[in-house]
Amino acid sequence: MSSVHTDDFKGRTAVVTGAASGIGLALSRALLNGGVNVLMADSNSIALACAVESLSVHAAQVQHAAVDVTDAEAVQLLVDFAEARLSRVDFLFNNAGISGVPSVVDASLDDWRRIVDVNLWGVINGIHAVLPLMRRQGGGHIVNIASIAGLLPSPSNVLYTTTKFAVVGLSESLRHDLAADGIAVSVACPGAVATNIWGAKEIPRDAISAEQAADEILRGVARKQGIIVFPGRMRRGWLMQRWFPRKMDRILAKMARPRAQVR
């Protein structure tokens, strides 16, 4: 973790979902390096065990649990476990998510249900479970990991974009609703990050590393930013969408045209 925000996290506690790889693992490592006690959660128990083993130097700071974020009862047990072991939850990082689903013209209703269950209901389940605890303890910070696809329409990735727009809207509404309770809410909207979420697809050449993404997210969290957009070219694209929507429509139309021709 960068020294810029180490003091904002030292001695705190955090729960990170989707912690076995990618951004979740990078966040866990950065938080541990910054002196945070971390409960790492992931649905893949084998990958999670390997991730925890890779962080053995921080063994005294790490707890872990195999949890499917689509299971509300399991997520509640995760938060209860965090309270029992860590006494409190200062940060919840709702990071678990999936992509790699079919195009909208090929998608089944089961495809829709699966991605909504993980990417949206997984976030809702985390918020619902941790909110009473954060209110009792007098504060906390909920961090939802979305995507630039939650701010800019992605014609080639409709299902994923739908869930990420929902997470952004949820986060922004929640941020204002919980301000009086002393609970901060941030939503991270990164561009391409080199993680296994791409599956068999080629990782974009301009993708940043998971470690870079984690550092950007924690910088934004330390500053209590509502929407954390990175890298810089993604921020510029977001601003263009807000300020010049007609110009952005033309750009998006060009992006959608090749797939329409294939269809």
Q: For residue range 193-248, list pLDDT tens digits in order.
A: 999 887 778 888 889 999 999 999 999 999 999 999 998 788 887 787 788 778 76
**Using one digit for the tens of pLDDT, what is the confidence trace for 119-173?**
999 999 999 999 999 999 999 999 999 999 999 988 789 999 999 999 999 999 9
Position 256 confidence tier, pLDDT thresholds 50, 70, 90 = low
Tokens of 189: 């909207």
The pLDDT value given to residue 122: 98
Long-range CB contacts (< 8 A, 24+ apart) of 191-200? Answer: 191/148, 191/230, 191/231, 191/233, 191/234, 193/22, 193/23, 195/21, 195/22, 195/23, 196/21, 196/22, 197/22, 197/97, 197/98, 197/99, 197/100, 198/99, 198/100, 199/99, 199/100, 200/100
Per-residue pLDDT at 38: 98
Q: What is the pLDDT of residue 41?
A: 98
Q: What is the pLDDT of residue 254?
A: 75
Residue 82 designated active-site = no
Q: Is the pLDDT of residue 257 over 60?
A: no
Closest CA to 217 of 248, 191, 254: 191
State whether CATH 3.90.1820.10 applies to domain 6-232.
no
42 vs 7, which has greater pLDDT?
42
Q: How confident is the model at residue 88 (pLDDT cuts 50, 70, 90)?
A: very high
Torsion of CA 215, 82, 184, 230, to 10 degrees: 20
Comparison of pLDDT for 105 and 258, the residue scoring more: 105
pLDDT for 156: 82
Selecting among 121, 160, 165, 238, the annotated active-site residue is 160
Residue 180 corresponds to which tokens in the numbers above? 């009086």
Tell me the C-alpha distance between 163 and 99, whole Å: 10
% of the chain beyond a pLDDT of 90? 77
